[in-house]
A and B are shown apart, each in its own frame.
Chain A
Amino acid sequence: MTDFLWLVVLLPLVGAAVNLIFGKRIGEPFAGWLGFVVVASSFVIAAIPAYDVIAGTAEPVTVHLFSWIPVLGVEAEILWDPLSVLLTLIVTGVGSLIHLYSIGYMHGDERFPRFFAYLNLFIASMLILVLAANYAVMFVGWELVGLSSYLLISFWFTKPEAAAAGKKAFVVNRIGDWGFLIAMMLIFAAFGTFDFHTIFATAEGVLSVGMATAITLLLFVAAAGKSAQIPLYVWLPDAMEGPTPVSALIHAATMVTAGVFMMARSAVLFEMAPVSGAVVATVGVLTALLAAVIAVAQTDIKRVLAYSTISQLGYMVLAVGVGAYSAGVFHLTTHAFFKALLFLGAGSVIHAMANEQSMLKMGGLRKVLPVTFATMGVAWLAISGIFPFSGFWSKDEILAATFAKGGAWLLLYGLGLLVAILTAFYMTRLFVLTFLGGRRWDEGVHPHESPASMTIPLVILAVFSFGFGFVNTPMRLGFEHFLEPAFHGVPHPDALDDSVIWTLAIVALVSAVVGIALAWRRYNRDELPAENTGWWSSAMAGFHVDEWYGRLFVLPGKRGAELAGQMDAKGIDGVAHGIARGVREAGTALQPVQSGKVRGYAGLLAAAGVVLIVAIVVIGGGF
């Protein structure tokens, strides 16, 4: 059944090409339907062979397509193992829902077909990334994802902010890619191949610990770019300039998880490098904390979600750092559902509010947007970690795994717990400010529930956001066992006693409840607290990290570039012009000798003749 897997990648590519070239003629809404159909077909084509894998009746396989870069031994191959199966289903599944949603959301946009072309391209890129059987092909997907993200963020390019945000996303991602590139240099030098199977099977014998540390740290740099970790997270909040479905699909559910996915894929290497694990975990938890703190102060509904995404990605990275790869991937999955849901819900709200994004101007939308309200409620509880919503299970597992490592890791656990409180706090703040309380709408805004093409995806996602957690509970680790073949024998984190597990779960639940309660008390009233001074405004501005980056890196970089530009004109060309001038001046200096006076010429002729004769006599030995 894996014979047709290549179609999974090809279909969205074809969809993208068709919409790109003929989109104008196809027009709205058929261009959108075309985009939806190709992705949905991909989902179906992938789902059939996936069933065997999920049922446990199929071994992981590699499907050879063609030879790509012979000299590097890079084959274009599809790796069909549990990890890629899972991600493929998420990407095509959530992807098709978002396509469907976009048909309604993008209604009336003059570049409607172009949008679906880009969305299709993104799906294809993401599929290349997750289905790759070696690092080189993965890098192709990795970069193409960056490209599609660039195209989609700056989709409304006439807005200077959107244009700048797209560029920023791509450039920051490329900084991470540099790490990926160097990691690949080291990998190829060590293994002579990029093939996952060979690398993971032989890593133990080939790599020293130092080498493994270097490679994994570099891979982490790459992951930090894509999965928006400190210090490379700065592009993600700006990426909210893109249309909301884009934020849902790319900057919540799929692309940003690529880093986590890639690290999980490289679990064997990370397992060999404990130092990297510590670094990764620390950065992860710090990112989670910083982003959560910033999220608390945001007033733009999409920016809250953006920082929330960074924060949740921090959790996933933490999971990788502590060696709980399947927990990380589990959170990735649940997060894909509830964060996509949150974004789409937010989109629905923004759509209803005539593109108003400030939560301070919302409130009381519960009645006018009942479906959005209900589905977002599910997502709210899921991300806050309320039992038995999916987020509870996945977040709990990460925290438990961190706790299980003991020692200094307990500090990370404590921070993780703090983030859980903050998460519940800011999500409640968002939920309350948007849907509850009084109406703070601008004049002339008449919100209304979105069309079915938008609400159906919300409902489906809500179902998953609620129930997906049950695939992996402490009672039944189905998900973990399912993923096992993908990790090439990397051991599970230390198991804890049942009693400890349940205690930790209750602690986590209590923190969530505390967070919700605090926020509920603070915001569920008519008079909102003033949050525009001091600490709040600083957090609101993301602690001015962008400005600091500008001062520390961008400005000196610009100066350096200008210097390079000037050095050409003054330095190198200066020398060249100097030589030219020198030759010229030599000529001019000799001009006076050319006086035109016969006497002078005769004199010089005689003098030169004398010199010549003396010379010839001396050389010839005449003396």
Chain B
Amino acid sequence: MPLLSILIAIPFLGALIVALLPKKRPELVLPVGLGVSIAPLAVAVWLTAEFAVGDPSFQFGELFVISDVFGVSWRLGVDGISLFMVGLTALLFPIAIAASRSVTDRAKTYMALMLILEGAVFGVFLALDLLVFFAFFEIVLIPMYLLIRIWGSGNRVYASIKFVLFTAVGSAFLLAGIIALGILAGDTAGSLSAFDLPNVLAVELSETTQLWLFLAFGIAFAIKIPLFPFHTWLPDAHTEAPTAGSVILAGVLLKLGTYGLLRFNLTLFPDAAVDLAPYIAALGVVGIVYGAAAAIVQPDIKRLVAYSSVSHMGFIVLGTFAFTTQALQGSVFTMISHGLTTGALFLLIGMIYDRTHTRAIADYGGLAKVMPVYAGIFLFSAFASAGLPGLSGFIGEFTVLIGSYMTLPVLAIVAGSGVILAAIYLLWAYERMFMGPVNSKIEGLKDLGFRELAIMIPLIVLILGLGVYPKPVMERIEPSVNVILDRIESATEFDVPEYGREPAPTIEIDHSDDGHSDEEGDH
């Protein structure tokens, strides 16, 4: 059974079903949409359960040749990395949809767009053909654009087009890069071009070619992540998007970038990756500090969380380019965890926004007295986001930091300061919104209802569960991550350092961050 194709198809078909619902029964839209979006979740859970632990190859593979001449195939498959990206997507969409009850204007369209978006995101994570990957990667923009444009708040026109143009500029380079790579692969594969991952992986690329292609791919993903200094679209888009849009944007769409780096930049252009790693990781670390610093001064809670995303994504980038199994696993784990925690925060902000229609921190105060349950869950999510041990955020960022130290010691140390800054911006915001005397404007607000609690509970359980027992996730990620490292090791001079097996770098020797182990040099 073409399980993965079905996974992609369900939401698209669901969108069609929603679009065909009778106009006079608007109350059907939400349940139908929710029902449709739960089906992929079931599939994703089944995939996770059936996934062969320890097997590094792509599983549940499918292949259908679209064009012989151009070497394009419908090739799908999941490995330990995409498995959880799919899972995260499958989880966040039903939640985001369930949280969309306040959308009553053109609800059908809204629901259809959400489902199209879901299908497209599945496509990105499952496609193993560069051109098909690109197609899904790019089409994601449109439903998201419309979600912001139509259901966004105040400054939505500007924010939506900014979102599209920033990311599309990256896509332009990505497409050019994919085409160039496809042409080169075509020479080996004996067709005009070839975009299939096995074909593309077989190409021998010179260092210069690798460098250019790496940059072409990298800039697209860097904008998507977003990596400093390409991040300025994100606060606007997050802030103006409707709640579900923000949840999906932060929870899922940003991961398209880091996933792309991991899947393509590292494996396709290992030489360039090793050469550029310190610089890109440095940008990631700048993002960690810069995003956190900017978050501190935001007067708008949604913007604050948006900037915190910039900071968290920096950890993922740092881990991705540290080239140790610890750091890479930490990166993937942080992707999952960030989706859960930031998703939770945006949902919570949406719930309060529905009540008060303001996002300004200054308009609140003493909320914990008025809505104690809400406050408790908010604080939980904030601490999860700030990397409190025992919650999922910690596992990922901790593993990234420990894993990055061996190859990028200075950056890892600076990145560690993120823990302080995260505490500052989140707790300061919490203090201003939830503590202190009760602001008269928010007196008498209702605490979370059953429906809202039901939305939050899965996230809370997962954040806690993954924080306490991350092993089931980690053990599925590990083999896939090691495949990437093996490829880097075999294709380049780089050796992944082993912890505890050699004298640890002393503080004076800092040049080990040039990406090469200096085992030979020191003896």
**Which stretch from B60-68, B95-103, B242-250, B422-430 is at the chain A interface?**
B422-430
B293: contacting residue among A66, A67, A171, A561, CB under 8 A: A561
Compute the total of residue contacts between A and B using a CB distance below 8 Å. Answer: 171
Establish whether residues A189 and B504, one from each chain, have CB atoms under 8 Å apart when the complex forms.
yes
Say if the beta carbon of A564 comes within 8 Å of chain B. yes
Say if the beta carbon of A139 comes within 8 Å of chain B. yes
**Using Cβ atoms and an 8 Å threshold, which residues of chain B touch A185?**
401-402, 405, 409, 412-413, 416
Say if the beta carbon of A164 comes within 8 Å of chain B. yes
**Using Cβ atoms and an 8 Å threshold, which residues of chain B touch A170?**
423, 427
Establish whether residues B424 and A163, one from each chain, have CB atoms under 8 Å apart when the complex forms.
no
Q: Could you jot down 12 A-B contacts, CB within 8 Å?
A: A72-B326, A72-B399, A140-B390, A144-B389, A147-B388, A150-B427, A174-B420, A175-B420, A177-B419, A178-B416, A178-B420, A189-B504
Bound-complex Cα distance A564 to B435 (A) = 27
**Using Cβ atoms and an 8 Å threshold, which residues of chain B touch A374?**
none
**Which stretch from A154-162, A486-494, A513-521, A544-552 is at the chain B interface?**
A154-162
Establish whether residues A160 and B423, one from each chain, have CB atoms under 8 Å apart when the complex forms.
no
Binary contact track B475-513/A, C-beta < 8 Å → 1, others 0:
100100000000000000000001111011111100000
CB of B396 to closest CB in A, whole Å: 10
**Using Cβ atoms and an 8 Å threshold, which residues of chain A touch B232?**
568, 572-573, 576
CB of A31 to closest CB in B, whole Å: 15
Establish whether residues B423 and A174, one from each chain, have CB atoms under 8 Å apart when the complex forms.
yes
Bound-complex Cα distance A163 to B469 (A) = 32
Residues from 7 to 23 in A contacting B, C-beta threshold 8 Å: 20
**Using Cβ atoms and an 8 Å threshold, which residues of chain B touch A561?**
293-294, 296-297
Say if the beta carbon of A182 comes within 8 Å of chain B. yes
**Using Cβ atoms and an 8 Å threshold, which residues of chain B touch A573?**
232
Say if the beta carbon of B359 comes within 8 Å of chain A. no
**Using Cβ atoms and an 8 Å threshold, which residues of chain A touch B296?**
558, 561
**Using Cβ atoms and an 8 Å threshold, which residues of chain A touch B166?**
576
Establish whether residues A158 and B438, one from each chain, have CB atoms under 8 Å apart when the complex forms.
yes
Binary contact track A106-150/B, C-beta < 8 Å → 1, others 0:
000000000000000000000000000000100110111001001
Bound-complex Cα distance A154 to B430 (A) = 11
CB of A468 to closest CB in B, whole Å: 33
Establish whether residues B436 and A69, one from each chain, have CB atoms under 8 Å apart when the complex forms.
no
Q: Report B's interface with A, CB cutoff 8 A.
A: 162, 165-166, 229, 231-232, 235, 290, 293-294, 296-298, 325-326, 329-330, 366, 368-369, 376, 383, 388-390, 394-395, 398-399, 401-403, 405-406, 409, 412-413, 416-417, 419-420, 423-424, 427-428, 430-431, 434-438, 468-471, 474-475, 478, 498-501, 503-508
**Using Cβ atoms and an 8 Å threshold, which residues of chain A touch B438?**
158
A188 and B500 in contact, given A143-B388, A157-B436, A167-B428 (Cβ under 8 angstroms)? yes
A163 and B436 in contact, given A188-B500, A192-B498 (Cβ under 8 angstroms)? yes
Closest to A194 in B: B402
**Using Cβ atoms and an 8 Å threshold, which residues of chain A touch B326?**
71-72
Establish whether residues A188 and B402, one from each chain, have CB atoms under 8 Å apart when the complex forms.
yes
Residue of B368, B420, B428 contacting most chain A CB atoms (<10 Å): B420
Bound-complex Cα distance A68 to B398 (A) = 13
In order of increasing CB-CB distance, the 10 nearest A-B pairs are A192-B500, A190-B504, A163-B435, A185-B405, A140-B389, A192-B499, A157-B435, A561-B293, A564-B294, A561-B296
CB of B32 to closest CB in A, whole Å: 33
Bound-complex Cα distance A186 to B298 (A) = 35
Establish whether residues A564 and B420, one from each chain, have CB atoms under 8 Å apart when the complex forms.
no
CB of B376 to closest CB in A, whole Å: 8
A193 and B235 in contact, given A70-B475, A167-B427 (Cβ under 8 angstroms)? no
**Using Cβ atoms and an 8 Å threshold, which residues of chain B touch A207?**
504
B389: contacting residue among A143, A211, A568, CB under 8 A: A143
Binary contact track A532-570/B, C-beta < 8 Å → 1, others 0:
000000000000000000000000011011101100100
CB of A24 to closest CB in B, whole Å: 9
Bound-complex Cα distance A32 to B389 (A) = 27
Residue of B298, B368, B504 contacting most chain A CB atoms (<10 Å): B504
Closest to B379 in A: A151
Say if the beta carbon of A417 comes within 8 Å of chain B. no
B478: contacting residue among A70, A139, A163, CB under 8 A: A70
Closest to A141 in B: B389
Binary contact track A171-215/B, C-beta < 8 Å → 1, others 0:
100110110011011101111110000000000001110110010
Q: Majority SS of interface residues in chain B?
A: helix
Establish whether residues A188 and B499, one from each chain, have CB atoms under 8 Å apart when the complex forms.
yes
Bound-complex Cα distance A284 to B505 (A) = 30
Q: Majority SS of interface residues in chain A?
A: helix
Bound-complex Cα distance A214 to B409 (A) = 14
Establish whether residues A158 and B470, one from each chain, have CB atoms under 8 Å apart when the complex forms.
no
Establish whether residues B383 and A171, one from each chain, have CB atoms under 8 Å apart when the complex forms.
no
Bound-complex Cα distance A136 to B389 (A) = 9
A174 and B419 in contact, given A66-B469, A182-B413, A572-B232 (Cβ under 8 angstroms)? yes
A71 and B329 in contact, given A171-B420, A174-B423, A178-B420 (Cβ under 8 angstroms)? yes
Residue of A139, A182, A561 contacting most chain B CB atoms (<10 Å): A561
Establish whether residues A565 and B298, one from each chain, have CB atoms under 8 Å apart when the complex forms.
yes
Closest to A20 in B: B376
A71 and B399 in contact, given A189-B405, A190-B500 (Cβ under 8 angstroms)? yes
A181 and B478 in contact, given A158-B438, A192-B498 (Cβ under 8 angstroms)? no
Binary contact track A571-583/B, C-beta < 8 Å → 1, others 0:
1110010001000
Establish whether residues A182 and B416, one from each chain, have CB atoms under 8 Å apart when the complex forms.
yes
A71 and B498 in contact, given A158-B436, A160-B436, A565-B298 (Cβ under 8 angstroms)? no
Establish whether residues A188 and B405, one from each chain, have CB atoms under 8 Å apart when the complex forms.
yes
CB of A558 to closest CB in B, whole Å: 7
Establish whether residues B470 and A69, one from each chain, have CB atoms under 8 Å apart when the complex forms.
yes
Closest to A24 in B: B372
**Using Cβ atoms and an 8 Å threshold, which residues of chain A touch B162?**
576
Establish whether residues A558 and B420, one from each chain, have CB atoms under 8 Å apart when the complex forms.
no
A71: contacting residue among B325, B409, B500, CB under 8 A: B325
**Using Cβ atoms and an 8 Å threshold, which residues of chain A touch B231?**
568, 572
**Using Cβ atoms and an 8 Å threshold, which residues of chain A touch B368?**
157
B506: contacting residue among A171, A178, A181, A208, CB under 8 A: A208
**Using Cβ atoms and an 8 Å threshold, which residues of chain A touch B420?**
171, 174-175, 177-178
**Using Cβ atoms and an 8 Å threshold, which residues of chain A touch B469?**
66, 68
A69 and B390 in contact, given A181-B419, A562-B297, A572-B232 (Cβ under 8 angstroms)? no
Residue of B231, B383, B405, B500 contacting most chain A CB atoms (<10 Å): B500
**Using Cβ atoms and an 8 Å threshold, which residues of chain B touch A560?**
293
Closest to A128 in B: B390
Establish whether residues B290 and A68, one from each chain, have CB atoms under 8 Å apart when the complex forms.
no
Residues from 56 to 98 in A contacting B, C-beta threshold 8 Å: 66-72
Establish whether residues B431 and A144, one from each chain, have CB atoms under 8 Å apart when the complex forms.
no
**Using Cβ atoms and an 8 Å threshold, which residues of chain B touch A189?**
405-406, 409, 499-500, 504-505
**Using Cβ atoms and an 8 Å threshold, which residues of chain A touch B405?**
185-186, 188-189
Bound-complex Cα distance A136 to B501 (A) = 20
Bound-complex Cα distance A67 to B473 (A) = 13
Establish whether residues A68 and B401, one from each chain, have CB atoms under 8 Å apart when the complex forms.
no
**Using Cβ atoms and an 8 Å threshold, which residues of chain B touch A159?**
436
Binary contact track A273-293/B, C-beta < 8 Å → 1, others 0:
000000000000000000000
A211 and B504 in contact, given A143-B389, A158-B366, A171-B427 (Cβ under 8 angstroms)? yes
CB of B449 to closest CB in A, whole Å: 16
A186: contacting residue among B325, B394, B504, CB under 8 A: B504
**Using Cβ atoms and an 8 Å threshold, which residues of chain B touch A192?**
498-501
A139 and B413 in contact, given A71-B325, A160-B436, A561-B296 (Cβ under 8 angstroms)? no
Establish whether residues A163 and B431, one from each chain, have CB atoms under 8 Å apart when the complex forms.
yes
**Using Cβ atoms and an 8 Å threshold, which residues of chain B touch A68?**
468-471
A167 and B431 in contact, given A189-B406, A208-B506, A573-B232 (Cβ under 8 angstroms)? yes
Bound-complex Cα distance A185 to B405 (A) = 6
A67: contacting residue among B325, B471, B498, CB under 8 A: B471
Establish whether residues B506 and A211, one from each chain, have CB atoms under 8 Å apart when the complex forms.
yes
Bound-complex Cα distance A553 to B260 (A) = 39
B402: contacting residue among A142, A184, A565, A576, CB under 8 A: A184
